Amino acid sequence: MSFKNLQLIEPVLKALAHEGYTEPTPIQQDAIPVVLQKRDLLGCAQTGTGKTAAFAIPVLQLMQQDRLQHPTDRMQPRKIQTLVLTPTRELAIQIEESFKAYGRYLPLQRLVVFGGVSQYHQVAALRRGVDILVATPGRLLDLVNQRHIALQHIKYFVLDEADRMLDMGFVDDVKKIISKLPAKKQSLFFSATMPTEIKQLANMLLVDPVKVEVTPPASVVDIIQQSLYYVEKQNKSALLTHLLNDAAVKTALVFTKTKHGADRLAKQLSRAGIRADSIHGNKSQNERQRSLFNFKNSRTRVLVATDIAARGIDIDELGHVFIHDLPESPETYVHRIGRTGRAGASGIAISFCDYAEKVYLAEIQKLIKRKIAVVKDHPYDVALMHPQEYKPAQNNVSFNRRKSGGGGRKYGRPFRQRA
Ligand code: AMP
């Protein structure tokens, strides 16, 4: 498919040709027509899928069409009609640059505002007039409260990386901003993952949205060697330590469900003599960059991360991914394993599954259309496939105790081999 099939106007097509884009990415193919039909959009996609262009291109086109339909508006001072809210300064800058690139042949003014710098130049630019504003939540609210920014003319609202907003503690600010927007507007909502709070936020904002979802190509699933360990929750870190004792694991990225869990696990691994660090949204930008630097330079062997913090991690030679906690969303599993096996290299993804996570496993296997190979030969295996025989253990059971326990008895009944 080419961009021409998406009914884009000439100045936009010309700008895309200038960028060297030949065909739309999957998220662009799906999202652009929906936005051009003036529908609200719920987009599940990560950075790297082309999602910025997926909203910037059609919004620019709609704005240009509005201009042509209302030529007298051009006599008026510019009003902010498009607001893009994004969690970090880096993303804000990138998004503004994308609007600049795709709108290079359109007469629309853009501005990016974020905190941590003087507001002087931002205010001066606002006074000169802006059509498209890209902002981080804190600075936007500051400028709104000082009446440098009026939001009542917003027609197009993009909420980018909503889950990261949550992770960084910006959700209340985002809600405040939404409450200041006009009721009648078109909203585009992007999030890589959909935890409950994010679903609620989407429901609050969107009217009859069209959902568009992209996952990394299936080839990711084909290249990566995936395996699964059934293990009780309380034995997961011991199993991880056991597997990390294998020198063949040079570097490993470990995914946990929570920030707290990431910290705790990194400490446990460090205590076991494994050079480990954690990275998540509660850490400052500097701390995260330091952790990443150390990991990329092999000073740290294991990096424990939450999904959102791991998004920027792009390491070509990452050999192993461990999924300590299976994710609720099967797409997240595919994103996680896709951190290894980059650039066509083969990678290894090892997942742990406790009893409560079996429902997530079923969803994952449905999505990837295969059963993940189960490794039974490990010291912490548990007969999870037979829940009627499963009783939570009182204590952690070490390899040696199990072995000497006689006949593989752990819960008073013999362990059965799974089929
Ligand atoms: P994003 O997911 O928005 O961060 O985009 C990831 C990268 O893909 C950016 O560097 C874009 O410039 C690039 N990109 C987006 N759309 C296309 C396309 N259709 N063809 C080629 N590159 C693209």
Position 344 scores a pLDDT of 52
Is-contact 49 60, C-beta < 8 A?
Answer: no
Which residue's alpha carbon is at the smallest distance from atom 15 of ligand 1?
A: 50
What proportion of the chain, given as a percentage, has pLDDT over 90? 62
Distance CA 156, CA 59 (A): 7
Most confident region among 75-79, 227-231, 331-335 by mean pLDDT:
227-231
Nearest CA to ligand 1 atom 11: 50
The residue among 117 and 12 whose pLDDT is bigger is 12
Alpha helices per DSSP H over 70-217 = 89-102, 120-128, 137-145, 162-167, 171-179, 196-205
Rg of the chain, C-alpha, whole Å: 25
Residue 410, pLDDT score? 31
Q: What is the mean pLDDT of residues 5-33?
A: 95
Nearest C-alpha to atom 5 of ligand 1 is from which residue? Answer: 50
* Ligand 1 atom at minimal distance to the Cα of residue 49: 2
Q: Which letter does DSSP use for residue 273 in this model?
A: T
Tell me if 409 is assigned to some domain.
no
In a domain, 142, yes or no: yes
Asked whether residue 104 is assigned to any structural domain, the reply reads: yes
Question: Which whole number is the average pLDDT over 90-105?
Answer: 94
419 alpha carbon – ligand 1 mean position (Å): 46
Q: How confident is the model at residue 416 (pLDDT cuts 50, 70, 90)?
A: very low
Q: Last residue of a domain, which of 213, 247, 267?
A: 213
Q: What's the 320 CA to ligand 1 centre distance in angstroms?
A: 27
How confident is the model over 217-240, as a mean pLDDT? Answer: 86
Does position 120 have pLDDT exceeding 70, yes or no? yes
Q: How much distance in Å is there from the Cα of 54 to the middle of ligand 1?
A: 9
Residue 396 lies in a domain: no
Average pLDDT of the chain?
86
Judged against a pLDDT cut of 80, whether residue 34 lies above it is answered with yes
**Alpha-carbon span 244 to 236, nearest angstrom:** 12
Predicted local confidence at residue 218, as pLDDT: 52
Measured distance CA(173)–CA(114) in Å, rounded: 14
Give Cβ neighbours of residue 159 (< 8 Å, ≥ 6 apart). Answer: 85, 165, 174, 187, 188, 189, 190, 201, 205
Residues 409, 316: Cα–Cα separation, whole Å:
44
pLDDT of the residue at 400: 33
How close is the Cα of 265 to the center of ligand 1, in Å? Answer: 35
Classified as helix, coil or strand, 403 is: helix
Q: Measure 356 CA to ligand 1 centroid, in angstroms.
A: 38
Q: For a substitution probing ligand 1, which of 6, 8, 19 has the most ligand atoms within 8 Å of its CB?
A: 19
pLDDT of residue 190: 95
Q: Per-residue pLDDT tens for 254-312?
A: 999 999 999 999 999 999 999 999 988 788 767 877 888 898 888 999 999 987 666 65
In a domain, 275, yes or no: yes
Q: Which is more confident, 138 or 166?
A: 138
**pLDDT for res 71:** 84
β-strand pairing of 348-353 with 302-305? unpaired
Query: Which pLDDT score, from 0 to 100, does residue 189 have?
Result: 97
Ligand 1 mean position to 45 CA, how many Å? 12
Instruction: Provide residues with CB under 6 Å of ligand 1.
Output: 21, 24-25, 28, 47-53
The reply to whether 237 and 180 lie within a common domain is no
Beta bridge partners of 231: 381
pLDDT at 169 over 60: yes
* Residue 205 included in any domain: yes
Residues 266, 181 share a domain: no
Return the ligand 1 atom nearest residue 101 CA.
12
Give the separation between CA 336 and CA 307, rounded to whole angstroms. Answer: 7
CA 43, CA 199: separation in Å to the nearest integer? Answer: 12
395-403 contacts: CB < 8 A, separation 24 or more?
396/234, 396/235, 396/238, 397/235, 398/238, 399/242
Same domain, 298 and 185: no
Q: Whose CA is nearest to atom 22 of ligand 1?
A: 21
pLDDT of residue 66: 95
Q: Whose CA is nearest to atom 19 of ligand 1?
A: 24
pLDDT at 342: 59
Q: How far is the CA of 42 from the centre of ligand 1 (A)?
A: 19
CA-proximal residue: ligand 1, atom 12 (nearest):
50
- Pick the more confident residue, 387 or 222: 222
pLDDT band at 394 (very low <50, low <70, confident <90, very high): very low
Both 24 and 142 in one domain: the answer is: yes
Question: What pLDDT was estimated at residue 311?
Answer: 63
Q: Are 202 and 42 in contact (CB under 8 A)?
A: yes
Q: In terms of residues, how long is the chain?
A: 419
Side chain identity, residue 97? E
For residue 172, the CA-to-ligand 1 centroid distance in Å is 30
DSSP 3-state assignment of 226? strand
Give the lowest-confidence range in 158-162, 196-200, 312-316: 312-316
Same domain as 228, residue 158: no
Domain with 229, as residue range(s), is: 224-385
Single pTM value for the model:
0.66
Residue in 52, 88, 99 to alter for ligand 1 test, most ligand atoms within 8 A of Cβ: 52
Nearest atom, ligand 1, residue 23 CA: 19
Residue 331 has pLDDT above 60, yes or no: yes
Which of 2, 6, 21 for a ligand 1 pocket mutation test, highest count of atoms within 8 Å of Cβ?
21
Confidence (pLDDT) at 307: 76
Is the dihedral angle over the CA atoms 339, 340, 345, 348 positive or is it negative?
Answer: negative
Same-domain status, 115 and 90: yes
Which of the given ranges, 172-186, 317-331, 361-375, has the highest pLDDT on average? Answer: 172-186
For tokens 């829940």, the residue is 387
Give me the CATH number covering residue 124.
3.40.50.300
How much distance in Å is there from the Cα of 53 to the middle of ligand 1? 7
341 and 203 in a common domain: no
Strands 348-353 and 373-374: unpaired
Same domain for 52 and 133?
A: yes
Supply the pLDDT for residue 371.
93
The reply to whether 128 falls in a domain is yes
User: Looking at residues 7-32, what average pLDDT do you find?
Assistant: 94
Rounded Cα distance between 374 and 286, Å, is 39
For 348-386, how does the pLDDT look when each residue is reduced to its tens digit (9 = 90+)?
999 999 999 999 999 999 988 889 999 998 889 876 544
CA dist., res. 357 & res. 362, Å (int): 9
User: For residue 45, which atom of ligand 1 is closest to its CA?
Assistant: 2
Alpha carbon nearest to ligand 1 atom 18, residue: 21
- What pLDDT, on a 0 to 100 scale, did the predictor assign at position 389? 45
Based on the fold, state whether residues 240 and 185 are members of the same structural domain.
Answer: no
The answer to which of 141-145, 189-193, 412-416 has the lowest mean pLDDT is 412-416
Residue 329 lies in a domain: yes
Written as one string, the DSSP assignment of 151-182 is: -TT--EEEE--HHHHHHTT-HHHHHHHHHTS-
247 and 268, same domain (yes or no): yes
**Same domain for 229 and 209:** no
How many domains are contained in the chain? 2
- Do 246 and 98 reside in the same domain of the chain? no
For residue 106, report the distance from its CA to the centre of ligand 1, in Å: 20
Distance CA 146, CA 139 (A): 11
pLDDT score of 217 = 54
